[in-house]
A and B are shown apart, each in its own frame.
Chain A
Amino acid sequence: MLGKTAGGLYWMFRYMERTENLARLVETGERIALTRGDGTDSEWKSILSTAGVRSAYMEHHDEITGDAVIDWLLRSPDNPSSVMSCVEAARMNARTVRTALTREVWEAVNECWMVLCDTLARKVPTRDLPQVLSTIRARSAFVRGALHGTMLRDEMYDFARLGTFIERADATARLLDVKYFVLLPSIAGVGSRLDNAQWEMILRAVSAEGPFRQVHGNTRGAREIAQFLILDGRMPRSLAFCYTKIGDNLEYLLRDHGIRKPCHDLSDEICDRLREMSIEDIFEEGLHQFLQDFLKRNAALGHQIEQDFRFYR
């Protein structure tokens, strides 16, 4: 398969994953704005940081308001990481790799684009926001469903999955890093009103409220949340889960190609750290330092995969 095709699949699914994560972030911000009277501006600020678009937003706006942030995150053509920009990019990549996709996957991504072009053609009124966000999530779920249900499990599938999990690991780690200070056990007064709001935001942003309750009951603590989203291999948006998948997909590529490449070593190092460290070890190292290190390694792995499988050269 062409290196370009591998790159196209990888990016197509990175952008689809990013689309979905953005919808969750917006939903979380809106929920907090509606249910908590205080400190919502700072919530939108941290949502911009989590999406990695805060400085770009500030270049185009004078102040942070819920309306403007939502529009920036969902529709702005000036924001290369808005939902609309991501879906455009995903579809563009899908068109370049059309021959590698099944008809179902192509139609799912094309329809996602057509529906969102329509839905996001105008500024979304607040009363329509829940409907619009659920459309975004449903459309990206169709794409994933078509991928699972129809694509051959060969290297094409591996690259699609690698893009998904590199992006997801990046998103979860960034979310935690933006909020790391509320997860530090020494600072937080356990169960305070502020912490509860912050923790709710974190869990909502990764659709983890229900799963967390199933595992930890109603006891919410910083330690448990950090443990759940970093190390719990059952939680599909945790760093550990993402890296189990990345490890598997790289392993399939190794078997398929018969050659071990530098990206395999990078991935193994990250996997080992996530397997061997306890949440206490992580707090001891420093949560922020740990997450910063993780983000760097995750990005480096992405670059290494691009080189090892000749996406561009």
Chain B
Amino acid sequence: MRSDSLFDEMYEPDGSPRAAYADFARWFEAEDPKRLRAKAREAEDAFRLTGITFNVYGDPDAGERLIPFDIVPRIIAAREWAKLSKGIEQRVRALNAFLHDIYHRQEIVRAGVLPYQMIARNEAFLPQMVGVDPPGDIYTHIVGIDLVRTGPEQFYVLEDNARTPSGVSYMLENRETMLAMFPELFTDNRVQRVSNYPRNLHASLSACAPPACDGVPTVAVLTPGIHNSAYYEHSFLADQMSAELVEGHDLRVVDGRVAMRTTRGYQPIDVLYRRVDDDYLDPLTFNPDSMLGVPGIFDIYRAGGITIANAPGTGVSDDKAIYSYMPEIVRFYTGENALLENVPTWRCSDPDALAHVLANLEDLVVKEVHGSGGYGMLIGPAASKKDLKAFRAKLEAKSGNYIAQPTLSLSTVPIFANKGLAPRHVDLRPFVLVSPNGIDITPGGLTRVALKKGSLVVNSSQGGGTKDTWVLEEE
């Protein structure tokens, strides 16, 4: 990666702040760093008290950890956001149309745009969903689109998250924390609100009530339990929506409905916002060993007795191999060119692409098609000879498992480090709600930041932190 091409979102190359950051920069320069440091510690205490912690998988002794929060906001101008949100909306529409098609007539395969084996060999494709019509024809009620930036006008989609995207509670709590710590910043800057998200989520879910629902829909959030790394978020969202937070053992099928055990007996649920993977949803239909799901829920779903959000089987639209087809997918369903660009991607299942990837391994990022959380990936420029050799072997053995992309010069935003501001790489996950009433994109999203100098890995499980993300109001 060439450092001269780095794009810093806060500062121009000449060191003057960009327009969106002008007010913030002025405020920051006038502040006493000691006070800011004390505030940063205060923020950490507040997060701990609120219990916004996560568990690291495979490390039972680690206890509960905090995701580090950086007090410098990531600021996006109204004009930039308007452009981004158009692109996001187009992409989310295409994802839903694609899912409907894949589980119905598969026109995109018939038209020769997508090879049949991309579906047939896809682990996330659920044959049980073929011909099922989810209420409102919505598959992905909640989507997270991961974006990176490389220049003033250059944004790329890094990944679509169409299964159970997480992180929205950080978006909300980061804003609450900034409001509490630096209220004066919000009188100088007109920042678009994010706090409507839980209400909008509830409205979106309610709008997808199943045919069996009579009256006001009952919404519940299904969590794998308190040991799940995102448990805080599950309880936070349930709390904010005034919905019940249920686990598999609270639920059972009663009179053709999925019902929860209350102090007054079993009561039916209309919409289940599940934060449990497809595989664990129903031991009768999917993984028979699952203790997290509800036996029989899939039959009830097919019969219109409950809405499951997101719909089972949405993973077929967001793995990294399908990702490489997104430009074609957007064009096929919307008739338009994709407004948001994909990162150029080599599918290693293709022999020519594999040859190119093997020849240029030290310049590329290689990812598992079904991987997530930054695990199992290779960052060529940062890898040792040994790592490269090991990965070469993996690629040759199971080439279909991998895709490769060029290492992008991700944009930087400063963090408040020990010696003042220091640029660090960031990405952005905006959150999108889809319902028959339309698509709602919360202005901003979750900015993740690699806290280590030069690092490109922003995942919280690997030393990443978060920032409050501001979208400014129109001037």
Contact = CB atoms under 8 A, between A and B. Distances in A.
Interface of A: 1-6, 92, 95-96, 98-99, 103, 106-107, 110-111, 114, 155, 257, 309-310, 313
Given A95-B51, A257-B264, A310-B262, A4 B250 contact: yes
Contact of B49 (A111, A257, A313): A111
Interface string B216-241: 00000000001000010001101100
A57 to B, nearest CB: 27
Contacts of B48: 114
Interface in B227-263: 231, 235-236, 238-239, 243-247, 249-250, 260-263
Interface residues of B, number: 23
B240 to A, nearest CB: 9
B260 A2 contact: yes
A310 B263 contact: yes
A107 B50 contact: yes
B265 interface: yes
B42 to A, nearest CB: 15
22 contacts: A1-B244, A1-B263, A2-B246, A2-B250, A4-B247, A4-B261, A98-B51, A98-B236, A98-B245, A99-B235, A99-B238, A110-B50, A111-B49, A114-B48, A114-B49, A155-B263, A257-B264, A309-B263, A310-B261, A310-B263, A310-B265, A313-B261
Contact of B244 (A96, A99, A111): A99
Given A2-B250, A4-B250, A99 B265 contact: no
Q: Is the interface of A mostly helix, strand, loop or mixed?
A: helix
Q: Is the interface of B mostly helix, strand, loop or mixed?
A: mixed
Interface of B: 48-51, 226, 231, 235-236, 238-239, 243-247, 249-250, 260-265
A155 B264 CA distance: 11
A107 B51 CA distance: 8
B181 to A, nearest CB: 17
A310 B249 CA distance: 12
A5 B247 CA distance: 11
Contacts of B226: 92, 95-96
Nearest to A110: B51
B262 A3 contact: yes
Q: Nearest 9 CB-CB pairs, A to B? A: A98-B235, A309-B263, A99-B239, A3-B261, A99-B238, A99-B245, A6-B263, A95-B226, A107-B49
Contacts of B51: 95, 98, 106, 110
Contact of A1 (B50, B236, B247, B262): B262
Given A1-B262, A95-B226, A310-B261, A110 B246 contact: no
A107 B239 CA distance: 15
A221 to B, nearest CB: 45
A121 to B, nearest CB: 13
Contacts of A313: 261
Nearest to B238: A99
A109 to B, nearest CB: 10
Nearest to B225: A96
B332 to A, nearest CB: 42
A2 B50 contact: no
Nearest to B245: A99
B50 A95 contact: no
Q: Determine which residue in A99, A107, A110, A310 has the highest number of CB atoms from chain B within 10 A of its CB, and name it.
A: A99
Given A110-B51, A111-B49, A310-B263, 8 more contacts: A2-B250, A4-B250, A95-B226, A99-B235, A103-B50, A114-B48, A257-B263, A257-B264
Nearest to A259: B264
A3 B250 contact: yes
Contacts of B250: 2-4
Nearest to A95: B226
A111 B249 CA distance: 30
B244 A2 contact: yes
Nearest to A159: B263
Nearest to B261: A3
